[in-house]
Amino acid sequence: MALMMCRICLRPDPMVRLSLFEGTIAGRPAAEVLAIVADVPVLAGDPFPQVCCSDCWQQLEAAFNLRELVRESSRKLGEMLAGLGADRVVVKQELEDVEEQQQDPIGTGTTWSTIVDNYEITKVEMPNPEYK
């Protein structure tokens, strides 16, 4: 006997029960989407509920769509950065020692100097990529 509660939020006997194994989200079985998003096994015939409520279905769909958007954006960013290799210009600037003068904090009226070491600034200039 299958448990008649939402597999995700455990709401008992939800009025709207959507089958995780018959319904689809983004063209995939909802059970597969749940397994991907939650990183838990979801198997037909396991002792867990086989349905979810409409609220959880919507949240599952939104989570999966966000996951896909992040993955696609990451792929596109990788392609954009790989394509910038030849166009990238690296500008290096070396700065000279900087001398800082400070007043004596205990009020003797003396000053002293501190030498700040050389440091290097690297600036990468890239052309604006065209977004499609």
Annotated binding residues for Zn(2+), written as ranges, equal 6, 9, 53, 56
Pick the closest to residue 13 from 3, 22, 25 (CA basis): 3
User: Per the structure block, which two tokens stand in for 42?
Assistant: 């979801």
Q: Would strands 24-25 and 28-29 be described as parallel, antiparallel, or unpaired?
A: antiparallel
The residues with which 120 forms a beta bridge, in sequence order, are 94
Measured between alpha carbons, how far is residue 106 from residues 110, 111, 114 in Å?
Answer: 9, 11, 17
| Annotated binding-site ranges | 6, 9, 53, 56
CB crowding 104-129: b at 16 or more within 10 Å, else e: eeeeeeeeeeeeeeeeeeeeeeeeee
